[in-house]
Amino acid sequence: MSNAKYVYLFHEGKAEMKSLLGGKGANLAEMTHIGLPVPPGFIITTEACIDFYNADRQFPQGLEEQVLEKVKILEETTGKKFGDPERPLLVSVRSGAVISMPGMMDTVLNLGLNDETVEGLAASTNNPRFAYDCYRRFLQMFGDVVLGIDHHYFEVVLESQKVDKNVYFDHQLTAEDWQQIIAKYKRIIEKETGKQFPQQPIEQLFLAINAVFNSWNTDRAVVYRRIHRIPDDLGTAVNVQAMVFGNMGDDCGTGVAFTRNPSTGEKSLYGEYLTNAQGEDVVAGIRTPQPISKLAEEMPDVYRQFKETCELLEKHYRNMQDIEFTIERGKLWMLQTRNGKRTVQSAIKIAVDMVEEGLITKEEAITRVEPAQLDHLLHRRIDPDAKLDVLAKGLPASPGSAVGAVVFDSDLAEKIAQEGKKVLLVRLETTPDDIHGIVAAQGVLTSRGGMTSHAAVVARGMGKPCVCGCEAIKIDYASKSFRVGDKVVKEGDVISIDGSTGQVIMGEVPMIDPEISPEFQKLLQWADDIRRLDVRANADNPEDARKAREFGAQGIGLTRTEHMFMAPDRIPLVQKMILADDIEGRKQALDQLLPMQQNDFYGILKAMDGLPVCIRLLDPPLHEFLPSAEELAVEITRLKLSGENAEELLEKEDLLRQVRTLSEFNPMLGHRGCRLGITYPEVYEMQARAIFQATAQLVSEGYTVIPEVEIPLVIEEKELAYLRQVVVETADRVKEETGIDFHYTVGTMIEMPRAALLADEIANQADFFSFGTNDLTQTTLGFSRDDAEGKFMHHYLERKILTDNPFIVLDRKGVGKLMQITVEQGRKVKPDLLIGICGEHGGEPSSVEFCHIIGLDYVSCSPYRVPIARLAAAQAAVNNRD
Ligand code: PEP
Ligand code: MG
């Protein structure tokens, strides 16, 4: 371990070394290589951080020597020296994880300043005010980040100095003011830590490195990683870089910019800067910065150079870049570049534009959009024709609309959201400590800060709507309200925000269905050309079927027929059928249901003209169609007490007896699925007849109808053989009665482990298989979904016993193994056996990938997830090329 190379100079690294040097470090190295103006520095590797944790938070052997060696080189390169009173070397120390975690870990600027070097800085810049300002910033940051002193202590001193001097802004304070503040800051440090502020730059440096390593495991960083599914064992690199100053005067500044618009994807430079400011001032959202276009007027040469650099970086990385820069006395310095975070709209537009610009291939474009993010696009948005009571307008920081009760505090937001209520987090600005409030809220509204403020960046990352910098709203935390003109909005009042326009609207706004933009359409077409898996939808009525088709579904993978039985006009007939004493009584009720079912199937099959429609025969236990025993008992008591309607009372008592007879100890494993078909074949016969009569009718009308009749919950070949016969005989009868020939298939769902294990036998009776992974997950894990998710799943996830909720992300190891066995065994008997999935996993990207890998023919999911599945299927094809 002592031989490990823990420290790299910028020119020793490159972009590919990201896992060792962290994202920021690798990109600084790469920019140095390309010849861009990057202040020199070095990177301490993520490996050093991992070894630091392995050694119980001690620096690993050899690290200190290597750092000292590189400091020496840095001193030679810059011609400055740590602690030199005349030409002091000052550095920034920043974290840099492999996967960027904006604002989550710590940064120290101006390191190297002490009582002596500050004088050197004052003399060499001929600007004492600037030098003392740097020193007090350093004391404050170092005190907070490294020594763990609450920043509040420092802020109080600063505020009282301003009050004493009767000024409002920091820049109105003089060099002498800063000197007085410095003396007070040092006293705070001494009082809080029991030690003097460390004057030695090397000591400062090692303390800062230690603090950055430790910041990898702060609560907020851990929460962020959990939300973004970033592994805990990656560690962070530390970047030590010579300081450049954006706060030396009006020919200086600092800013952040995106090479394209991260909200819309529009191809134009997009960003903000602050004149005469340092480091984190822009992202911190304390002063509202100027748009980057203004730089073209204020410093045209710098702007031109900056624009060229942005173009070069975009071409080099072939991706939209998020850039940080500083201007020191008219000279441009690049401090960071990385692939920019963007909304899904922006990701789609940039991917499609870059293909058209010849920068990337279609396959790359497909992988540039996170399928799960598409969810936000496929959601409802504010009706553009609605009359809105617009309260104010802020910056459109993250698109989408959110409605919720106003809450001013993140803890409270979390608490109320846990009770199932929708909240909107409203704050002056957010900080990393608000992360749980943002997670819990539908959207975020801030009164300060620009498009790159914390709230904006984090909300975009989570795909949550955000309006920021809405200065018209005057927030008063004390009275838990905000004011716009003479209107007062209190905690708990419902408002809406539109993150695409920046509007803040009173009350709940009317929403409309989503549409697919032309770029999105194009990307999906490319995905269709690349994917191997077909994508179908689960739909139970003609309207959903049409929606599914619009979204590109290539058929219906599951029509659940039970919902049709629940309609108010049918439930009495269904109950009559269930409660019939004999088969004759049951058949009478079924005869009345038949035309209704036929009409259902007619509508769906017609909507899917030319495409396959898989219709599942009745699945849930019959008692689900009866009133609950408790409700009946209450009703009976009421009737008894009133003594009015004796006949009704008898009827209800009879019903209650039947309900009790039909009730089950464990309905999930009870009298349901094909077990119903075995005991009441006339029910399945009626459904098959309804399907085939609808089919015959549509064929006679000239439609192409492809019905697939599906038997649920099969565990044994003989079950399927018997029910298949019921279906086939019914089809034969309908053909004979109507004189119309039609094609159909009969298959089964694979939802029980036994069915999976005996797939070769079951395949003898099946034209197709469809994985019902909802039930297959329940029965493989022995978890009932409602109990698991309601009671113990979160413990399993928190303890990492399971990495994902298996009802959302397919459990490849267990359920997946059974699926693989099914595919192998089934296709051994019938090589062309059609196999799909219709459990909820069919629209979840990782599960879709697994279905691709094991060779399924299609996935089927809810209509709104069809575009997600199309893209995920294409990514699976690209990422799993043999
Ligand atoms: C399944 O079990 O995966 C399935 C699709 O059936 P249901 O969810 O209706 O039980
Ligand atoms: Mg099922």
In the structure, ligand 2 is a single-atom ion and the residues with CB under 5 Å from it are: 751, 772, 775
Question: Model confidence over 467-512: pLDDT tens digits?
Answer: 998 999 999 999 999 999 889 999 999 999 998 889 999 999 888 7
pLDDT at 103 > cutoff 80: no
Q: What is the pLDDT of residue 286?
A: 61
The total number of structural domains in the chain stands at 5
Smallest-distance ligand from the CA of 774: 1
Q: What is the mean pLDDT of the chain?
A: 92
Is the same domain home to 657 and 675?
no
Q: What is the pLDDT of residue 172?
A: 85
Is the same domain home to 237 and 268?
no
Question: Model confidence over 347-405: pLDDT tens digits?
Answer: 999 999 999 999 999 999 999 999 988 877 876 678 877 889 999 999 888 878 899 99
Which residue in 310, 838, 851, 861 is the catalytic one?
A: 838
Dist. CA 540 → ligand 2 center (Å): 15
Is the same domain home to 689 and 777?
yes
Q: What is the pLDDT of residue 644?
A: 79
Is the same domain home to 286 and 306?
yes
Q: What is the pLDDT of residue 168?
A: 84
Please state the rounded mean pLDDT for residues 661-679: 92
Dist. CA 672 → ligand 2 center (Å): 10
SS3 string of 713-768?
CCCCHHHHHHHHHHHHHHHHHHHHHHCCCCCCEEEEEECCHHHHHCHHHHHCCCCE
Question: Model confidence over 794-848: pLDDT tens digits?
Answer: 888 878 899 888 998 999 999 999 999 999 999 999 999 999 999 999 999 999 9
Is the same domain home to 695 and 648?
no
Is the same domain home to 215 and 268?
no
Q: What is the pLDDT of residue 792?
A: 85
Dist. CA 179 → ligand 1 center (Å): 71
Identify whether 735 is part of a domain: yes
* Ligand 1 contacts CB of residue 710 (under 6 A): no
For the record, the structure tokens of 189 come out as 């440090």
Q: What is the pLDDT of residue 581?
A: 83
Best mutation site among 668, 775, 808, 856 for ligand 1, i.e. most ligand atoms within 8 A of its Cβ? 775
Strand-pair partners of 111: 91
Identify whether 756 is part of a domain: yes
Q: What angle do CA 333, 138, 218 make, to 5 degrees?
A: 95
Q: What is the pLDDT of residue 461?
A: 62
Please state the rounded mean pLDDT for residues 746-751: 98
Please state the rounded mean pLDDT for residues 128-144: 94
Dist. CA 548 → ligand 2 center (Å): 21
Domain boundary among 484, 512, 540: 512
Please state the rounded mean pLDDT for residues 160-167: 92
> Counting atoms of ligand 1 from 1, which one is nearest the CA of 778?
2
Is the same domain home to 260 and 238?
no
Residue of the CA atom closest to atom 3 of ligand 1: 772
* Ligand 1 contacts CB of residue 770 (under 6 A): no
* Ligand 1 contacts CB of residue 773 (under 6 A): yes
Among candidates 52, 13, 19, 16, which has minimal Cα distance to 33? 13
Beta strands at 401-407 and 321-328: parallel, antiparallel or unpaired: unpaired
Of residues 562 and 702, which shows the higher confidence score?
702
Residue of the CA atom closest to atom 4 of ligand 1: 772
For the record, the structure tokens of 695 come out as 């089919």
Dist. CA 837 → ligand 2 center (Å): 11
CATH number at residue 38: 3.30.1490.20
pLDDT band per the 50, 70, 90 thresholds, residue 74: very high
> Counting atoms of ligand 1 from 1, which one is nearest the CA of 840?
3
CATH number at residue 436: 3.50.30.10
Report CA-CA distances (Å) from 751 to 705, 711, 855, 862: 27, 11, 18, 19
* Ligand 1 contacts CB of residue 560 (under 6 A): yes
pLDDT band per the 50, 70, 90 thresholds, residue 454: confident
* Ligand 1 contacts CB of residue 668 (under 6 A): no
Dist. CA 685 → ligand 2 center (Å): 20
C-alpha to C-alpha distance for 128 and 81, rounded to whole angstroms:
20
Among candidates 557, 597, 607, 608, which has minimal Cα distance to 692? 597
Is the alpha carbon torsion for 635, 636, 637, 639 positive or negative?
positive
Please state the rounded mean pLDDT for residues 124-141: 92
Is the same domain home to 46 and 87?
yes
* Ligand 1 contacts CB of residue 755 (under 6 A): no
pLDDT at 2 > cutoff 60: no
Q: What is the pLDDT of residue 170?
A: 80
Smallest-distance ligand from the CA of 559: 1
Is the same domain home to 187 and 229?
yes
* Ligand 1 contacts CB of residue 129 (under 6 A): no
C-alpha to C-alpha distance for 166 and 184, rounded to whole angstroms:
19
Dist. CA 608 → ligand 2 center (Å): 23
Dist. CA 807 → ligand 1 center (Å): 11
Identify whether 810 is part of a domain: yes
Which residue in 376, 454, 623, 841 is the catalytic one?
A: 454
Q: What is the pLDDT of residue 723?
A: 98
Identify whether 362 is part of a domain: no
CATH number at residue 716: 3.20.20.60
Identify whether 460 is part of a domain: yes
Question: Model confidence over 769-806: pLDDT tens digits?
Answer: 999 999 999 999 999 988 888 788 888 887 889 988 89
CATH number at residue 284: 3.30.470.20
Dist. CA 538 → ligand 2 center (Å): 13
Tell me, what DSSP letter sits at residue 127? -
For the record, the structure tokens of 269 come out as 């430079």
Q: What is the pLDDT of residue 727?
A: 98
Residue of the CA atom closest to atom 6 of ligand 1: 772
* Ligand 1 contacts CB of residue 839 (under 6 A): yes
C-alpha to C-alpha distance for 589 and 567, rounded to whole angstroms:
15
* Ligand 1 contacts CB of residue 843 (under 6 A): no
Considering only 67-71, 230-234, 463-467, which range has the smallest mean pLDDT? Answer: 463-467
Q: What is the pLDDT of residue 654?
A: 87
Instruction: Answer for the pair 453, 459: CB distance below 8 angstroms, yes or no.
Output: no
- Coil, strand or helix at 83: coil
Residue of the CA atom closest to atom 8 of ligand 1: 774
Report the share of the chain in percent with pLDDT over 90.
73
Annotated active-site residue 376? The verdict is no
Identify whether 404 is part of a domain: yes
C-alpha to C-alpha distance for 456 and 394, rounded to whole angstroms:
12
Smallest-distance ligand from the CA of 840: 1
Identify whether 304 is part of a domain: yes
Is the same domain home to 568 and 657?
no
Please state the rounded mean pLDDT for residues 711-739: 98
Q: What is the pLDDT of residue 419?
A: 83
Please state the rounded mean pLDDT for residues 552-559: 98
> Counting atoms of ligand 1 from 1, which one is nearest the CA of 839?
3
Can you give the residue range of the structural domain that contains 626? 622-663
Dist. CA 586 → ligand 2 center (Å): 25
Smallest-distance ligand from the CA of 713: 2
* Ligand 1 contacts CB of residue 774 (under 6 A): yes
Strand-pair partners of 44: 7, 238
Residue of the CA atom closest to atom 1 of ligand 1: 772
pLDDT band per the 50, 70, 90 thresholds, residue 696: very high
Domain boundary among 633, 663, 693: 663
Is the same domain home to 322 and 430?
no
* Ligand 1 contacts CB of residue 673 (under 6 A): no
Domain boundary among 277, 308, 339: 339
Annotated active-site residue 152? The verdict is no
> Counting atoms of ligand 1 from 1, which one is nearest the CA of 562?
9
pLDDT at 283 > cutoff 60: no
* Ligand 1 contacts CB of residue 859 (under 6 A): no
Is the same domain home to 748 and 827?
yes
